[in-house]
Amino acid sequence: MPRHLISKLEQFTRLSVSDKQALETAAGEKRRRIGPREDIIREGDDPAFVNLILDGWACRYKQLEDGRRQIISFFLPGDLCDTHIYVLREMDHSIGALTPVTYAEISRETLARVTAEHPRITQALWWDTLVAAAIQREWTVNLGQRTAAERLGHLLCEIFIRLRGVGLTEGHSCVLPVTQADLGDAMGLSNVHINRTLQELRGSGLIVLKGRQLTIPSLAALQAASLFNPNYLHLDRVGRHLDANDQAGDGTD
């Protein structure tokens, strides 16, 4: 069932049948389901598990004393929250659902066992962690330098490509199941301005957005308009040399 995670990791390296089974087992241990606006974990809590999003969208966020909320990152299906979080004593931010979410709680011990026995998974999780850090850096650039239209366009490019990596796009389309207010909290813009900026992107034909269905007629055009350079997602199959080949037939499915 953690097929999205597997798809994602296979962008980096090919996994053997046994690798996939190990992930399967780990993700099956403890499964939970929550509704939108519910929290998976809160600032101040002791992080006991690594959470794996199986379905739905969640986010990291932080709320200032006066109510301002910043969404720090989006969690899409297949995303894993910090694999070493248990080194720290308490959460410095919260993780909450934006849509109905199904996720797996993976214990520290399980994760340790899986990585000890499956070096390719270890490598792939490293890659995933580094890409997550790169995305966070890119958001810094996004918030610091880009205009509203560039910023939003950039986000949509990123989301589309990430969803494609986990098999959740269809042609030029994908879902965008969050409210405009959520997008605003993520981009540091008011919901009103998000609305106007979306209209601007629609007006210039860069996106088609009907309800929760997003279509990007030309990803290249949206990328160009948003100064989007996909290099930070590191989709260049760096880990080719780690492709599983220890058993005939492995990794071909």
Q: Choosing among DNA, its own copies, none, which partner's interface includes residue 196 (Cβ < 5 to 8 Å by kind)?
A: DNA
Q: What does the alpha-carbon distance between residue 116 and residue 113 come to, in Å, rounded to a whole number?
A: 5
Q: Choosing among its own copies, DNA, none, which partner's interface includes residue 54 (Cβ < 5 to 8 Å by kind)?
A: none
Residue 194 CB, shortest distance to its own copies, in Å, is 13
Residue written as token pair 């989301």 = 159
List of residues contacting its own copies (CB under 8 A): 43-44, 60, 62, 64-66, 68-70, 72-73, 82, 84-85, 87-90, 92-93, 123, 126-127, 129-130, 133-134, 136-141, 143-146, 185-188, 227, 231-232, 234, 236, 238-239
Q: Choosing among its own copies, DNA, none, which partner's interface includes residue 149 (Cβ < 5 to 8 Å by kind)?
A: DNA
Pick from 232, 154, 230, 224: nearest CA to 189: 154
Q: What does the alpha-carbon distance between residue 88 and residue 95 come to, in Å, rounded to a whole number?
A: 16
One-letter amino acid for residue 56 of the chain:
G
SS3 134: helix
List of residues contacting DNA (CB under 7 A): 147-149, 179-181, 184, 188-193, 195-199, 211
Q: Which is nearer to DNA, 102 or 190 (CB)?
A: 190
Q: Choosing among its own copies, DNA, none, which partner's interface includes residue 192 (Cβ < 5 to 8 Å by kind)?
A: DNA
CA 223 distance to own-chain centroid: 19
Angle between helices 191-203 and 148-165 (to 10 degrees): 80
